[in-house]
Amino acid sequence: MKRLLITGAGGNLGKICREGLKGYANVIRLSDISPMDPAGPNEEVVQCDLSDRAAVIDLTKDIDGIIHLGGISIEAAFDDLLQANLAGTYNLYEGARQNGVKRIMFASSNHAIGFHKRTTKLDDTSEQRPDSLYGVTKCYGEAMASYYFDKFDVETVSVRIGSCFEKPKDRRMLSTWMSPRDFISLMKAIFNAPMTGHLVMYGVSDNTSKWWSNDHADFLGWKPQDSSEQFRAEIEATFPPEDRHDPAVIYQGGGFAAKGHFED
Amino acid sequence: MKRLLITGAGGNLGKICREGLKGYANVIRLSDISPMDPAGPNEEVVQCDLSDRAAVIDLTKDIDGIIHLGGISIEAAFDDLLQANLAGTYNLYEGARQNGVKRIMFASSNHAIGFHKRTTKLDDTSEQRPDSLYGVTKCYGEAMASYYFDKFDVETVSVRIGSCFEKPKDRRMLSTWMSPRDFISLMKAIFNAPMTGHLVMYGVSDNTSKWWSNDHADFLGWKPQDSSEQFRAEIEATFPPEDRHDPAVIYQGGGFAAKGHFED
Amino acid sequence: MKRLLITGAGGNLGKICREGLKGYANVIRLSDISPMDPAGPNEEVVQCDLSDRAAVIDLTKDIDGIIHLGGISIEAAFDDLLQANLAGTYNLYEGARQNGVKRIMFASSNHAIGFHKRTTKLDDTSEQRPDSLYGVTKCYGEAMASYYFDKFDVETVSVRIGSCFEKPKDRRMLSTWMSPRDFISLMKAIFNAPMTGHLVMYGVSDNTSKWWSNDHADFLGWKPQDSSEQFRAEIEATFPPEDRHDPAVIYQGGGFAAKGHFED
Amino acid sequence: MKRLLITGAGGNLGKICREGLKGYANVIRLSDISPMDPAGPNEEVVQCDLSDRAAVIDLTKDIDGIIHLGGISIEAAFDDLLQANLAGTYNLYEGARQNGVKRIMFASSNHAIGFHKRTTKLDDTSEQRPDSLYGVTKCYGEAMASYYFDKFDVETVSVRIGSCFEKPKDRRMLSTWMSPRDFISLMKAIFNAPMTGHLVMYGVSDNTSKWWSNDHADFLGWKPQDSSEQFRAEIEATFPPEDRHDPAVIYQGGGFAAKGHFED
Amino acid sequence: MKRLLITGAGGNLGKICREGLKGYANVIRLSDISPMDPAGPNEEVVQCDLSDRAAVIDLTKDIDGIIHLGGISIEAAFDDLLQANLAGTYNLYEGARQNGVKRIMFASSNHAIGFHKRTTKLDDTSEQRPDSLYGVTKCYGEAMASYYFDKFDVETVSVRIGSCFEKPKDRRMLSTWMSPRDFISLMKAIFNAPMTGHLVMYGVSDNTSKWWSNDHADFLGWKPQDSSEQFRAEIEATFPPEDRHDPAVIYQGGGFAAKGHFED
Amino acid sequence: MKRLLITGAGGNLGKICREGLKGYANVIRLSDISPMDPAGPNEEVVQCDLSDRAAVIDLTKDIDGIIHLGGISIEAAFDDLLQANLAGTYNLYEGARQNGVKRIMFASSNHAIGFHKRTTKLDDTSEQRPDSLYGVTKCYGEAMASYYFDKFDVETVSVRIGSCFEKPKDRRMLSTWMSPRDFISLMKAIFNAPMTGHLVMYGVSDNTSKWWSNDHADFLGWKPQDSSEQFRAEIEATFPPEDRHDPAVIYQGGGFAAKGHFED
């Protein structure tokens, strides 16, 4: 790949990508709303607010693929989500369309399906059940991706990412954990695939306890290497048992599903 | 029902509702962004821009049910849709939540699934495939409705409305047509039902040629009475045969699916 | 048919059958645990406790088909259900097997699936979710029927009967009502069919508001003629609106699902 | 339509079409392996052996649509089927491809699925289970149709025809009967539809006892008007009850499924 | 867990549990209808007939979880099954309800689905097809479990156990075998899970030849470690090839499906 | 097994079988249209044209099982396919029926489903979508196999073989590759299984990037040992990236789907 754009490059996932994808493209353009570390070799650093359409159209020039991590990635006030995630995602797709970008990895979220119970196994045909305004913006992003593929032939893999950290941070993450290594290998699989169309899948390691199936995405050739099981003993020793009448335990979205309205 | 709110009451569907639902509630509050005819008996008329949150929260006070027809109902510039359909829908749901409104009829659209082929029979489990930015905002509205039901117990019936006119206006509408009479009987069925949860269904008459199944919604007890078939001869005499290689013929969304980007 | 046995012939459904099926078989043998009206022409009347195995084996001699309405048909103490519905059903199937009875109509019940929500459309593949001990005994009866067909070639149509009365008695019955006329025509369709295997279906009229599909049973050639819709206005005028947070409204089993344990 | 070709025009279905479709196209070209009645107004009569490729390619010149009833329509020696149905169908599709024919009605048969039990409801996703060598040739024809659509854009509606006669001739036909009137209206619906792709459906009237669903083909706008039910009393009075252990009763294909090998 | 009850603790599976779960709970209460070895450290031994309701209600006092292996586990006379498995299971659930037991492992059986063919892959949505009266009582137990969860919030994992022995004992067990080690790890997974609802799953090791899928139960985090494949050569050398026309080979239930009625 | 017949024994797969199955049966009869190497120990070599019915019936005498690799295995002129694949397959099944052969491995092909997109995961319920005349003959073969099982109890495993070579030869084969070792172990699994009925499955190794599921065939006990992943680096270094607008890349059938008509 000649030039890969990573939005939200200053955030947690963005940093994992910046580090893990070094050398993957001739040039990696890194963008974030906040200042980032200066560009290293084969890097371009562009500070950019995704809600600024003209800036985003500029940002996506000469780009072959985009890892779209930008925008707000937690529950937030609607007006903030409106700009960062609703306008921002549109702007990004418009940039992609106008500049001929071929494929986008859209960082969707498990919070797009967070009101499914943990006892339900999901796949790509499961209905969206967002657990937060943030989750609603991710459903919207998936719809936008579908539209831009059907009409403008811009391909997207919408990855409903679980919890990507060095290790699981609580009992729920035993099921949702995605190792940074698996995240990076997924990014590569997505851009190596000859064809993706608009694909919805889950970003999760090969955990023993799991809620999501990626069988439909086998054509990608991605096979996660890690499992949260190695951390189970430590996690279970650290965190008290879960109460099955707690909405944060009942629903896949965890705390997001349990919380009331952001602005209350 | 004590007090029913109809948004977008000045539009095509709004006028059908205003006329057809006379007397259905003790008071019907009518709202539109544009001026409307003055209030008749048991009516309240409130001009209101749905993108004005405070106004919308005020508008939804003392309301039991909402027929939400407001916002933009055709393809439009994204910035207009952002205000009217994205912010507007959020504002409406926030009003409903804060004021304890029990149930909403959300006017979704066949354009939320317009990139399915006409040869595909859809039901409530079919994936969203919006055919326009407008369609994307309807997918978003359905996600918002799902969220407000799962978390705040505000029920919604998201009706993917076909084409509601006195009679079909072209060959495609032989399949998508919904008579005003059927539209009104559906509105009543929705608010009479003891329970709806969040339900996605199709707003279409009992046409002989059809693309959508409402079997899953039989609990509502709604049975359309009209069929486009009575107009077939007239329509086929008026409009030339369709070209099956035309995207407007291939896809359920018709012209919406065939058009390029709004702003080009 | 030469000789048809009706168990529970003294109950509500039994009386409907006795009346409605006059002349349908050369001889109709009527059985009940309680005394019945004396035998009319072409009738045999046999008082019999279904929990008495020897008596039941005797009862099923020279019989071609059985309409099994006997046993307890409401929630009851477990020990009573154990005898009447658990032992009783086994006894009946043993009688059928030993005496070469070809086909049985087993009166299952909507209470075998009563913990499904009203917003869920069921068919024969829906999982059993009994709403009462009574409902559990009906699930058991369906399993017994399956076993006797698979191993002993005794055919059964397990009919999950809704509410069979002259007219609906409350709002819920607008969905569950089965007219006596439709009940009788179903009994005839069941015994006229060349082959049934073990079939699970729903006993319900062609109501506008419905929860159950019998599409899979179309081979039977049964088509209900009545609809509860004619009674809607009267019912809605008589009974107050339903509260959607009431388990009796949420679940298909109505009051059965809402009640606590029988013996508490 | 300018010019419609009917193959097998001298057979039972062919005669129904010749009569019922008079005037439907500017010219109707009639072909059969045997001599036919001379051409009437707007008719062309061409005697043609479908296994003669050059003749078939000639036969399909200047044709817009084809109703392909030709070939052998009962069980036969394999070598006869090889010529008439295997080579013949290929020849027809090659003629269509080379001459730019847009759409074909392929007379498939219920014998392509005749080894399904009568208690199983089928639709277009049901697996093929042919009950005869004849049935195998119909499966082959459906595969050929699929291929010519996917690669060469020749559309086909493969109609698995039940039993098309003036009235049902035995008990089985109460389920498989298709009235000539419904057959004709289906032919018209197929050629009137703007788009069909390759569609597999069932050719059957609106019988009360039925085994097949055409719900997926609703987009065609075809609605059968007749039902075998009017003939039930007469048929049941004429034919003895069916034995459910007879393969001709167990399986949908009836006698075809029950017979041994043709050449034994 | 504070106090775990194991019923049927004197049987094959009971002994595996007694040994394998040593130390898993503060106290393990062991019950059987027959005398057992005396209580070891942290054990309580209670001889109890499950058909004695009062005794069972006493037995379940102060219990957090139950592994319900008690009752009859082979084909038997109906009257014996009536007491041990029908009354016994009710008694156990009543004890659980009255004493606030949170979760039960119900030892269902592959004989609840034993009349499915071996060539059919089953999961939790497969219909019950019991192969014996014993199998019918297991279907009943699953229905009882469903009921007590839906109404009384007592959770159950109904495990359709295959064949749990040190090693497979015949060719069929190459597919149904569950190692004692995998059985024990499943018991732990069941009681460790934060939430189970009523879950139906299969108790089987990771055999290469298998008939059952537990994909839907992945949330449990159970992963069997053993496979029967290591025993294949030995088994195939010991037992003659199976005859595919033998019901014991055709059906998953093996000998249970092939045998006639117990009391004949 | 006493005597196994391998047709097409002189071709690529035939040679793999001849080598890999040495000693698997008491006698292996090898047949091909062309001359083969002379018979080794426990081998019989019979040159035979499959379109010669009498010869084929002779060829299948005293045979217990058949690996049917014969016929044409690439796109070809229809008249050649007619003899080799259409008549030839019928002849083989007639031979099997007349001579009491118990089970056949039919070499179907991925080209029977080659017009599915690569992004679609297929299993045994996926519709046939042949990509060539050759593929159509494979669909026909599967239908013939279904017929001979349903009516004559000749079992078949129809294996839709991917690409069986020492190693993958292009990027597409990273998904379709089947190692010779896995092919041989599949042949053994097929003839070792106690029962297969008519089974449709895919012949493919355990590649990381895959399009096909064999979960439904788990009862066979076959587990591929190889994966194409070891060859990925080499293949990607050798072959240029694929163009996702090329039909050979879009469709599973690769070049077969992309090519026009054979005889053009």
Q: Could you read off the pLDDT of D106-115 as tens digits, one per residue?
A: 999 999 999 9
CB C115 within 8 A of CB C257: yes
D131–F143 CB contact, under 8 Å: no
Q: What is the dihedral angle through the alpha carbons of E15, E17, E21, E27, rounded to the nearest 10 degrees?
A: -80
CB atoms near residue E34 (< 10 Å): 10
> Tell me, what's the pLDDT at B264?
82
> Residue C264's pLDDT is what?
82
pLDDT of residue D158: 98
- What pLDDT does C241 receive? 95
Chain E: give the shortest CA distance to residue F170, in Å: 31
Q: Which residues of E touch F221 (CB under 8 A)?
A: 174-175, 207-209, 229
Q: Which of F203, F202, F210, F158 is nearest to F182 (CA)?
A: F203
Beta bridge partners of F99: none
In the structure, what pLDDT confidence band is assigned to residue E264 with cuts at 50, 70 and 90?
A: confident
**What is d(CA C47, CA C55) in angstroms, rounded to the nearest whole number?**
10
Supply the pLDDT for residue A199: 98
C-alpha F119: how far from chain center: 23
Q: Which of C208, C114, C110, C119 is nearest to C162 (CA)?
A: C110
Using an 8 Å Cβ cutoff, are C221 and D236 in contact? Answer: no
Return the pLDDT at C263. 82
Q: How many residues does chain B have?
A: 264
pLDDT of residue F126: 98
Give me the helices (H) in chain B, please.
12-20, 53-59, 78-81, 88-99, 133-152, 173-176, 180-192, 232-238, 247-250, 255-258
Across the interface, whether the CB atoms of D132 and F143 are under 8 A apart is answered no
Of E134, E140, E148, E251, the active-site residue reads E134
Predicted local confidence at residue D264, as pLDDT: 82
Q: What is the pLDDT of residue F263?
A: 82
Q: Does F175 sit within 8 Å of A199, measured CB to CB?
A: no
pLDDT at E113 over 90: yes
The span from the CA of A103 to the CA of A63, in Å, is 10
Q: Are the beta carbons of A213 and E216 separated by less than 8 Å?
A: no
Please name every residue paired with D203 in a beta bridge, in sequence order, or none if there are none: D161
Task: For C175-227, write each residue's pLDDT tens digit.
Answer: 999 999 999 999 999 999 999 999 999 999 999 999 999 999 999 999 999 99
* Chains C and A lie in contact, requiring 3 or more CB pairs less than 8 Å apart: no
| Chosen from E149, E150, E157, E218 to mutate, greatest number of chain A CBs within 10 A | E218
Chain C positions contacting chain D at CB under 8 Å are 155, 194-197, 199, 215-216, 218-223
Mean pLDDT, chain B, rounded, equals: 97
Spatial neighbors of E7 by CB under 8 A, at least 6 apart, are E14, E31, E32, E48, E50, E59, E66, E67, E68, E69, E70, E71, E92
Residues near E223 by beta carbon (within 8 Å), at least 6 away in sequence: A208, E185, E206
Residue of E195, E201, E220, E222 to mutate for A, most A C-beta atoms under 10 A: E195
pLDDT reported for residue A138: 98
Q: Do F161 and F99 touch, CB atoms closer than 8 A? A: no
> Is F263 part of any domain?
no
- CA atoms of B92 and B159, how far apart (whole Å): 16
Q: How confident is the model at residue F95 (pLDDT cuts 50, 70, 90)?
A: very high
Write down the pLDDT at residue A264: 82
Phi first, then psi: give them for residue A26, nearest 5 degrees: -55, -45
D125 exposure class (CB count in 10 Å sphere: 0-12, 13-18, 19+):
exposed
Listed as ranges, residues in chain A with pLDDT below 50 are: none
- Mean pLDDT score across all residues of chain E: 97
The alpha carbon of residue E152 is apart from the nearest alpha carbon of chain C, in Å, by: 8
Alpha-carbon distance of A105 to A186, in angstroms, equals 10
pLDDT reported for residue F48 = 97
Tell me whether residue C139 is in a domain. yes
DSSP string, chain E: --EEEEETTTSHHHHHHHHHTTTSSSEEEEEESS--PPP-TTEEEEE--TT-HHHHHHHTTT-SEEEE--S--S---HHHHIIIIIIHHHHHHHHHHHHT--EEEEEEEGGGSTTSBTTS-B-TTSPP--SSHHHHHHHHHHHHHHHHHHHH--EEEEEEE-EESSS--SSTHHHHEE-HHHHHHHHHHHHHSS---EEEEEE----SS--B--GGGGGG-------GGGGHHHHHHHSPPPPTTSHHHHBTTTHHHHS--TT-
- Cα C139 → chain centroid: 12
CB contact under 8 A, F129 and D140: no
D205 is a domain residue? yes
Q: Compare all CA atoms of chain E with the CA of C132 and give the residue at the minimum distance.
A: E147
E181 pLDDT higher than 90: yes
Handedness of CA E91, E93, E96, E98 (dihedral sign): negative
F neighbours by CB contacts (3+ pairs under 8 Å): A, D, E
Chains E and D in direct contact, meaning 3 or more beta-carbon pairs closer than 8 angstroms: no
Q: Which of B97, B128, B143 sits opposite A146 (nearest CB)?
A: B128
Please judge whether E242 and F215 are an interchain contact, meaning their C-beta atoms are less than 8 angstroms apart.
no
Question: What length is written for chain D?
Answer: 264
pLDDT at position B213 over 90: yes
Yes or no: say if C205 and C38 are a contact pair by the CB < 8 Å rule: no
SS3 D159: strand
Interface contact flag, C195 D244, Cβ < 8 Å? yes
| Tens-digit pLDDT profile for residues F47-75 | 999 999 999 999 999 999 999 999 999 99
Are E31 and E91 within 8 A, CB to CB?
A: no
Rounded distance, CA C153 to CA C102, Å?
8
Q: In chain C, how many domains are there?
A: 1
- Alpha carbon distance F160, F137 (integer Å): 12
pLDDT for D127 beyond 90: yes
With CB atoms and an 8 Å threshold, state whether B195 touches C171.
no
- Of F37, F36, F129, F32, nearest to F88 by C-alpha is F32
User: Is the dihedral angle over the CA atoms F138, F140, F143, F145 positive or is it negative?
Assistant: negative
What is the average per-residue pLDDT within E131-159? 98
**Is A263 part of a structural domain of the chain?**
no
pLDDT for the residue numbered A196 = 98
CATH of residue A234: 3.40.50.720
pLDDT tens per residue across span D35-75: 999 999 999 999 999 999 999 999 999 999 999 999 999 99
User: Vertex E123, ends E121 and E126: CA angle to 5°?
Assistant: 90
| Average pLDDT estimate for F106-119 | 98
Residue A223: both structure tokens together: 């096979």
Mark whether A134 is an active-site residue.
yes
Neighbours of F260 (CB within 10 A): 8
Among the options A24, A90, A93, A134, which is catalytic? A134
Per-residue pLDDT band at D263 (split at 50, 70, 90)? confident
Query: What torsion do the CA atoms of D246, D251, D255, D258 make, to the nearest 10 degrees?
Result: -60
Residue F264 is predicted with a pLDDT of: 82
Q: Identify whether D263 is part of a domain.
A: no
What is residue E47's predicted lDDT score, i.e. its pLDDT? 98
Please identify which residue in the block is written with the tokens 């060719």: E171
Percent of chain B with pLDDT over 70: 100
Residue range C216-258, pLDDT digits in tens: 999 999 999 999 999 999 999 999 999 999 999 999 999 999 9
| Complex ipTM more than 0.90, yes or no | yes
Alpha-carbon distance F152 to nearest alpha carbon in chain E (angstroms): 13
Residues spanned by the domain of B135? 3-258
The DSSP call for residue C251 is: B
Give mean pLDDT, residues F247-251: 98
Question: What is the structure's pLDDT at A63?
Answer: 98
Range C24-40 average pLDDT = 97
Q: Indicate if the pLDDT at residue C167 is higher than 90.
A: yes
> Does residue E264 sit within a domain?
no
